[in-house]
Amino acid sequence: MSGPQAELHDLIRNTLKANAGVMSLVTEVYDAIPKGNWKEPEAYISFGPTDVVDDDAECITGGLYTVQIDCWSREVGSYYCKEIVDAVKAALHDIDAELPTHGLTQMRVVARRVFADPDGKTMHGVVAVEALIEEDVETV
């Protein structure tokens, strides 16, 4: 059994990597973008911070998990990065999915943002994904 954060991470990564619309726009989905030089004009997706707010109820241990998905592009302008952000939303929003040992009650994209990165070359998109998870529930 693994923790709910790890299971949610795997679900998001695997869902994005299996989505043809997403993968037609990006080179890879990383835990973090590897160090080194960009290979222009590639685009990537990486994981940002995860926050958890406990959401226990009577006899149920759970949490509201917020995962930041970062989208990176060096294409000129914001249009291409917006396409990536929208494709990520389409792949993840309100999907019917299960976690191996925890109960995924709901997963929704709750915010999207695109802005110029401080390096002056990179567009940065942020997708906020919220998942309501019942912890330690064996799914069948």
For the chain, domains (ranges, CATH) are: 4-134 (3.30.2000.30)
* The predicted structure's pLDDT at residue 39: 67
Cα–Cα distance between 74 and 121 in angstroms, integer?
6
* The predicted structure's pLDDT at residue 43: 92
Q: Which of 42, 12, 41 is nearest to 27 (CA)?
A: 42
Q: What is the pTM of this model?
A: 0.90
Length in residues, the chain: 140
Amino acid at 7: E
* The predicted structure's pLDDT at residue 139: 47
Cα–Cα distance between 80 and 21 in angstroms, integer?
13
Q: What is the pLDDT along the chain (140 residues), one digit of tens a residue?
A: 589 999 999 999 999 999 999 999 999 999 877 777 666 668 999 999 999 998 777 777 889 999 999 999 998 889 999 999 999 999 999 999 999 999 999 999 999 999 999 988 899 999 999 999 998 765 44
Cα–Cα distance between 69 and 126 in angstroms, integer?
6
